[in-house]
Amino acid sequence: MAPIVQCMGLTKQYGRKTALNQVCLNLERGRIIGLLGPNGSGKTTLIKIMNGLLRPTAGEILVGGIRPGVETKAHISYLPERTYLQPQMKVMEIVEYFRDFYPDFQVERAYDMLARLQIQPYERLKNLSKGMKEKVQLILVMSRNADLYVLDEPIAGVDPASRDYILHTIVANYNRNATILLSTHLIADVESILDEVVFIRQGSILLQAGAEQIRRNEGKSVDRFFREVFAC
C-alpha cells in the first residue's frame, strides 16, 4: 500500500529564510510517528503544508496519493498548536460544527470523552481554562475516524498530569489503520507510544527510523539519543 504522506524535494522559504530544505519523506500507514526537532526546526511548517495552510516554494507533497485539497482534508484530522475555535461558542455547538463538516466525526465518542473530563456541553469555550480548551480540541480531533491524525505540539504548555491524559486519549481513540504524526520537542513524554521517529533540524530531515531500532542500535533511549544529536 502506498505511503499516506509522500514529500518529494519539499522546500519552503519565508523571504530569505529557508524553513524546509528539499525534504524527501514517506510516512507509512498504521504507525505512530514522532516528528521531533528543536524549536524552529520546520516541524510546524511541514505540518501546515500537509494541511494546505501554506503552499510550498518548491517540491511536492501528496497525502493519500493526492495534493492537499478538499479531498485530503476529509481524511486528515489536524490539531494545531493554537486555539482555533470561536471562544463564544458552547461546547455542544462546537461538537455540532464538527459533525456538520466531517462525515467521519463520532458524536457519541466526543460526548463520552467530554463527560469523563466533566466538561458540560452548554459551557462556553471562553469560560474554560487554557488546559481545558486544549483538551476539548484534542477530543474533537480524536473523535474522527481519520486516515491521518496530525497533532502539532499536543503536550506543549500543559502540566504532567494533563500530558498523561492527552497521550492516553490519543492512543485509546485513534483508528488502528490510521497514522498519527505527532510533533513535539518533549521526547521523554511521548517516547513510549512512538513506533517511528523523524528527526528534523533547520528544515532538513536528519533521520527516519523505528523507535525500537534506535534503542537497539544506539543502546539508549530515543530521548537520550535526541539530546546527543541536537546538543548545542
Partner 1 sequence: MLGKLMKYEWKASWKLLLPANLVIVCLSVMTWIANNVAEQSLLSEDRLDGLLSGIFILVMMLSYALSVITVFVGGAIYLIYRFYTSTYGDQGYLLHTLPVDKHHIIVAKALVSAFWILMMALVIYMSAWLVCGGDTKDFFGEIFGGHWYLPIYVSEEELNVFTVIMAIVAAVAGVFAKIMQVAASISLGQLSANHKVMASFGFYIAFRVLQSMLEGMISVLIIMFADGAEGLLNGFMWHYSWEPALIIGLLYSTLFYLITWHVMEHRLNLE
Interface with partner 1 (CB under 8 A):
14-15, 48, 51-55, 70-71, 73-74, 76, 78, 80, 82-86, 93, 97, 100-102
Least distance (Å) between residue 182 CB and partner 1:
17
Residue 78 or 199: which CB sits closer to partner 1? 78
Residue 140: in which H helix or E strand, if any?
helix 130-142
Let me know: does 98 contact 40? Beta carbons within 8 Å: no
- Rounded to the nearest whole angstrom, what is the least distance from the CB of residue 19 to partner 1 in the complex? 9
Nearer to partner 1, 104 or 223 (CB): 104
Q: How far is the CB of 178 from partner 1 (least distance, A)?
A: 16
CA distance 163 to 70: 32
The distance of closest approach from Cβ of residue 54 to partner 1 in the complex, given in angstroms and rounded to an integer, is: 7
Please provide the DSSP assignment of 153-204 as one string: STTTTS-HHHHHHHHHHHHHHS-TTSEEEEEES-HHHHGGG-SEEEEEETTE
Residue 55 CB, shortest distance to partner 1, in Å, is 6
CA 122 vs CA 54, 116, 150: distances in Å:
34, 15, 28
Question: Cβ closer to partner 1: 105 or 174?
Answer: 105
Q: Least distance to partner 1 from the beta carbon of 48, Å?
A: 7
Give the whole-angstrom CA distance, residue 37 versus residue 205. Answer: 10
Taking the least distance from each CB to partner 1, the nearer of 34 and 80 is: 80
Q: What b/e sequence results for 130-160 when a residue is b if at least 16 CB atoms lie within 10 Å of its CB, and e otherwise?
A: eebbbbbbbbbbbbbbbbbbbbbbbbeebee
- CA 196 from centroid of its chain's CA atoms: 14
Quick one: 98 or 226, whose CB is closer to partner 1?
A: 98
When the beta carbons of 89 and 132 are compared against partner 1, the nearer one is 89
DSSP state of 128: S
